[in-house]
Chains A and B, each alone.
Chain A
Amino acid sequence: MDSANLEQLQTRLRIKYEWSRALRAFIGFAPVTAVVALAALVGKRPESALFFGTLMFTSGVLLLWYGRDLRRAVLPGLIAGLLPLTLALCANSFGHVCLDGSCTTLCLPACTAGGLFSGLAISWVGHRGRYGLGFWLSASSIALLTGAMGCSCIGYSGVVGLALGYGAGVVPALGVRRLLRGR
């Protein structure tokens, strides 16, 4: 085979390689659609759950297709995101609490607490694996999008609560990481 044919073959192989990675990523992440469907069925705002779920699924597939550190972030991100999602869905079905004549929904505290634990979990995994910034960003986006499926129960304030809780869990850990790297 001459060099021109070998180059053509290489191009063809590159396309096949990318397609196979994309297909594997899609099939590998497909079971997550069950979580999205569950969140849409159980949650109060199915359209928001579907919106965040679609974003989360697309991001997950893209990260798995890309590979390297970003691929490793998908599973921890998803597991960490399931915590605020579960808490928010439970709080949603529980309704609201009335104390001294005033009633409040449990969704916001559930999302904030879930976000905090989620952030701490990602920090722990990130520190243990000594991953780079790509891992932290990817895991955070997957965790936040997964949690947001449930936390949109009281509108975007739930999502903001989740993000604040998550930030409170992950930002100090990032600071510690930077300090340790500086030494």
Chain B
Amino acid sequence: MEKGSALSLDSLMARLAEGDRSSFTQVFEQLWPVVFRLCRAILKHEADASDAAQQAMEKIFVRASDYDASKKAIPWALAIASWECRTILRKRGRRREVPEGDAEVALTPGSDDDHAQQELVVAALEALGTLSATDREALIATFWEEAASVSGPTLRKRRERALDRLRIAFRRPYGLS
């Protein structure tokens, strides 16, 4: 996303939080492609991505009045979307724990790799969820190439610190820290 449109999304989101209904359509039109792209990148499944993106958009608009105008809108929205993706991945994981009769379907070639990949994504998203809002913003801004509220050396420093904390959070459940 271009810097200019990200900035206007911030102000549009702030206006929507204030109750300005005229910015609703513009917020939707700017957010939907970004949220859907993120969901598709994480879930790698068109229908699931569409479901997750719709759920995420619902939560974004329900929480629109809570939006803090001093923060960037895109990382805030993407954090909500990534949480929805995590929920769908967890549901998928549970569906994989199928009864014995259906085991053959689950054990198709490549499914082990996919499963392992999805578990890693779930673990990463869970670890991301334990970080502070600033850390999450720095990481999301870096990896989804969205504009952060800071740039240059400050962003680099924040990113390094956030990555360190993410590593610790990621290792903790496995007793590696």
Please name all residues of chain A whose beta carbon is closer than 8 Å to the beta carbon of B28 when the two chains form the complex.
Answer: 10, 13
- Cα A17 to Cα B64 in complex, Å, equals 7
Interchain CB contact under 8 A, A66 and B19: yes
Interchain CB contact under 8 A, B20 and A6: no
Give a binary string over B21-36; 1 marks a CB under 8 Å from any A CB, 0 the rest: 0001100100010001
Contact of A12 among B18, B58, B64, B65 (CB under 8 A): B58
Interchain CB contact under 8 A, A20 and B63: yes
- Cα A6 to Cα B65 in complex, Å, equals 22
Interchain CB contact under 8 A, B62 and A20: yes
- Does A44 sit within 8 A of B, measured CB to CB? no
- Cα A16 to Cα B61 in complex, Å, equals 7
- Does A45 sit within 8 A of B, measured CB to CB? no
Chain A count of residues within 8 A CB distance of the other chain = 17
Interchain CB contact under 8 A, B20 and A68: yes
User: A158 to nearest B CB, angstroms?
Assistant: 35
User: B16 to nearest A CB, angstroms?
Assistant: 8
> What's the dominant secondary structure at chain A's contact region?
helix
Closest to A1 in B: B50
- Does A24 sit within 8 A of B, measured CB to CB? yes
- Does A14 sit within 8 A of B, measured CB to CB? yes
Given contacts A6-B32, A13-B61, contact A67 B50 (CB under 8 A): no
Interchain CB contact under 8 A, B65 and A24: yes
Chain B count of residues within 8 A CB distance of the other chain = 18
Given contacts A16-B62, A24-B65, contact A10 B54 (CB under 8 A): no
User: A102 to nearest B CB, angstroms?
Assistant: 53
Please name all residues of chain B whose beta carbon is closer than 8 Å to the beta carbon of A10 when the two chains form the complex.
Answer: 24-25, 28
Most chain B CB atoms below 10 A, which of A17, A21, A68: A17
Most chain A CB atoms below 10 A, which of B18, B32, B61: B61
Please name all residues of chain B whose beta carbon is closer than 8 Å to the beta carbon of A71 when the two chains form the complex.
Answer: 18-19
- Cα A1 to Cα B57 in complex, Å, equals 14
- Cα A65 to Cα B65 in complex, Å, equals 10
Interchain CB contact under 8 A, B18 and A67: yes
- Does A37 sit within 8 A of B, measured CB to CB? no
Given contacts A9-B54, A10-B28, A16-B58, contact A68 B65 (CB under 8 A): no
Closest to B50 in A: A1
Please name all residues of chain A whose beta carbon is closer than 8 Å to the beta carbon of B25 when the two chains form the complex.
Answer: 10
Please name all residues of chain B whose beta carbon is closer than 8 Å to the beta carbon of A66 when the two chains form the complex.
Answer: 19
User: B114 to nearest A CB, angstroms?
Assistant: 24
Closest to A15 in B: B61
Most chain A CB atoms below 10 A, which of B16, B19, B32: B19
Interchain CB contact under 8 A, A68 and B19: yes
Please name all residues of chain B whose beta carbon is closer than 8 Å to the beta carbon of A13 when the two chains form the complex.
Answer: 28, 57-58, 61
Please name all residues of chain A whose beta carbon is closer than 8 Å to the beta carbon of B19 when the two chains form the complex.
Answer: 21, 65-68, 71
Given contacts A6-B32, A9-B54, A9-B57, contact A17 B18 (CB under 8 A): no
Task: Please provide the 6 A-B residue pairs with the shortest distance between their CB atoms, ordered closest to farther.
Answer: A67-B19, A20-B62, A17-B61, A13-B61, A68-B19, A16-B62
Q: Can you show 28 pairs from A to B with CB atoms below 8 A apart?
A: A1-B36, A1-B50, A6-B32, A10-B24, A10-B25, A10-B28, A13-B28, A13-B58, A13-B61, A14-B24, A14-B61, A16-B61, A16-B62, A17-B61, A17-B62, A20-B61, A20-B62, A20-B63, A20-B64, A20-B65, A21-B19, A21-B65, A65-B19, A67-B19, A67-B65, A68-B20, A71-B18, A71-B19
